[in-house]
Structure 1
Amino acid sequence: MASPMSANSFLKALKAEGLTVVEVDDWRDHNRNHKGPWGPVHGVMIHHTVTRDSAHTVNICRKGYSGLPGPLCHGVITKDGRVHLVGYGRANHAGLGDPDVLRAVIAERQLPGDNEASTDGNRHFYGFECENLGDGDDPWPDAQLEAIVRAITAVCRHHGWNARSALRHLDWQPGKVDPRGIDWDDIEARVTKRLGGKPATAPRPTPSRPVVDLSQLRAAARSNPSAQGQPVTYAGVRTVEAALVDEGLLSKAYSDGHFGTTTVTAYAAWQRRLGYRGQDADGIPGRTSLERLGDRHGFTVTS
């Protein structure tokens, strides 16, 4: 169990690791602490932003967007390798994740697959968002990868953790794919080397790609709005809702596995974003729109 370091100690740790740090506005006091506690902390989580342009990326991560107020992380690592501090304290970056994964991070052992979303990650992890489109094609410059390694190392060195206290968003929360395109085994080995430790004996397993059944999803979209309470009628709804949250179309509060009226409205907005109009944008998933969402957020569509 570890208490979060102070803002000044965080800044000092990053600079001591040789990072170029940019302090953005009132980052020390910008947080979501009124929504719940921050700490004890157990690890550091890495994300990609699905954005381009450094200034735009930093601004979004500081302010957030509709349905997900900022800060969305503690530091933004841009493609030039600079770390922009946008908040400190509780941040909207990790969301609900798997308690078995948390236990593995605490024990610094190989992670299990994530199949639950029940534990508050915003409370327990430092978070760094990394500027990248997340499409698998957008490159990760060497300067940015080195900054990721050094940022992880800075936090781990302060707390006396090893490299297994770092994880990806995809390791934590079902349906997530970020940071896509990074060789995580290489990142972990480089952190271990900087910390002066021995490399892990086994690589982390490659997570399986989530599968969403179109027919079951359509059935949920048609039946859930009239259902009482919030029944999870089909597990794939959580995967689709997580993607809609990432697109800024659905509030995280409604990412609950219930394809209710709010999710229907959010999905209709996704259909309109793709150019559909009228009855073609009714919020009931179709194959093309769902496959487009899956391509962006790492899930496979079956019938």
Structure 2
Amino acid sequence: MATPLTATRALSALRAAGMDVVEVNSWETHNRNHMGPWGPVYGVIIHHTGPYSSQAQMVGMCYNGRSDLPGPLCHSVIDKQGTCHLVGWGRANHAGRGDAGVLAAVKAETILPADRSATADGNPHFYGAELINRGDGVDPWPEEQLDAAARWAAALCREHGWSERSVIGHLEWQPGKIDPRGFSMDDFRARVAKLIKEDETGGAKPPASGTSPAKPSTPKPIPPPYPGAQAFGPGKSNESILLLGKHLVRKGFGRHYRVGPSRTWGEADRLNVADFQRAQGWTGLDADGYPGPETWRRLWS
């Protein structure tokens, strides 16, 4: 049994796990807590989204919900590039009713029984991640996505002192569910266990009493080649725009994105670039929101 993590602590844990995180709108306070308490929490549930037209559309739906099910529909959406989109924090409409025996096994971290009934409400007791995948058994699971999902689960387990047995799939919780389809939850739990073990055994040792810890050196990121001004602007769509958007978010200049960056140039990209340019002390045409070579270089400095 555990008190749910605060949004701030969860965000720190995910970033410490090396995740690429995008904060969507007011995710920290976006929840269904008015429907009942959130917590105590016992574990995490992994889902797949099902059919989708675009990743941005699916992130938006998981934030806003559907006509028959109000959002948020999970806490995190993990896309095929391994980016974690935070869409809510608190009670979310993701788990629904599942097997009370499964809930008891997760609490005790013992072998899961078959899910045969739907009598226990999981929404107060589980963190939930939606992994973008059509769930048809054909849509691929990129390694970047599976690694990010395992890091997400391991980070939350680590914060609570849980083992990988606190991680289950939706299909193991609620009768009739098939998600996540396309990989084994036993294999996924093995990934989580390895990440938890690596953190326990591979971290830096605490300094001896009376000494100051050595500050690790952080190498500067190497900027990718500037793609040229022609890569940016209305009607443009390419990987450089996505790369630019993700790095703007990492630098703290992503406030205009509603559902995170994409490959297609939009007004949010221009406004975020302009914010970064003004933060350099630039004005006028030097802060027009279109990245030139110096803007590009400074983003990675």
**TM-score interval (norm. to shorter):** 0.5 to 0.7
1:99 and 1:183 map into 2 onto residues whose CA distance is 22
User: Which residue of 2 is the match for residue 18 of structure 1?
Assistant: 18
2:45 and 2:97 map into 1 onto residues whose CA distance is 13
1:120 and 1:185 map into 2 onto residues whose CA distance is 24
SS in 2 for 1:127: strand
User: Which residue of 1 is the match for residue 116 of structure 2?
Assistant: 115
SS in 1 for 2:146: helix
1:136 and 1:36 map into 2 onto residues whose CA distance is 36
1:128 and 1:156 map into 2 onto residues whose CA distance is 13
Residue 74 (1) aligns with residue 40 (2):
no
User: Which residue of 1 is the match for residue 33 of structure 2?
Assistant: 33
Q: Which runs of 5+ in 2 are unaligned?
A: 199-301
Alignment of 1:195-234 (within 5 A): 195-196=196-197
Alignment of 1:93-242 (within 5 A): 93-196=94-197
1:174 and 1:185 map into 2 onto residues whose CA distance is 18
1:141 and 1:183 map into 2 onto residues whose CA distance is 14
User: Which residue of 1 is the match for residue 43 of structure 2?
Assistant: 43
1:146 and 1:85 map into 2 onto residues whose CA distance is 17
2:57 and 2:111 map into 1 onto residues whose CA distance is 36
Shift of 1:193: 1.1
SS in 1 for 2:149: helix
- Counterpart code for 1:114: D
Residue 87 (1) aligns with residue 88 (2):
yes
SS in 2 for 1:115: coil
TM-score by length of 1: 0.64
Shift of 1:178: 0.3
- Counterpart code for 2:133: N
SS in 2 for 1:190: helix
1:187 and 1:83 map into 2 onto residues whose CA distance is 17
Q: Which runs of 5+ in 1 are unaligned?
A: 198-303
Q: Which structure has the larger Rg over C-alpha atoms?
A: 2
Give the number of aligned pairs. 197
CA RMSD of aligned residues (A): 0.9
1:146 and 1:115 map into 2 onto residues whose CA distance is 30
- Counterpart code for 2:18: G
1:65 and 1:193 map into 2 onto residues whose CA distance is 36
1:183 and 1:99 map into 2 onto residues whose CA distance is 22
Shift of 1:183: 2.4
Shift of 1:196: 1.1
Shift of 1:191: 0.9
SS in 2 for 1:39: coil
- Counterpart code for 2:26: D
User: Which residue of 2 is the match for residue 243 of structure 1?
Assistant: none
Shift of 1:154: 0.4
2:68 and 2:169 map into 1 onto residues whose CA distance is 23
Q: Deviations over 1:194-225 (max 9, x none)?
A: 1118xxxxxxxxxxxxxxxxxxxxxxxxxxxx
Shift of 1:21: 0.3
Q: How many percent identity over aligned positions?
A: 58
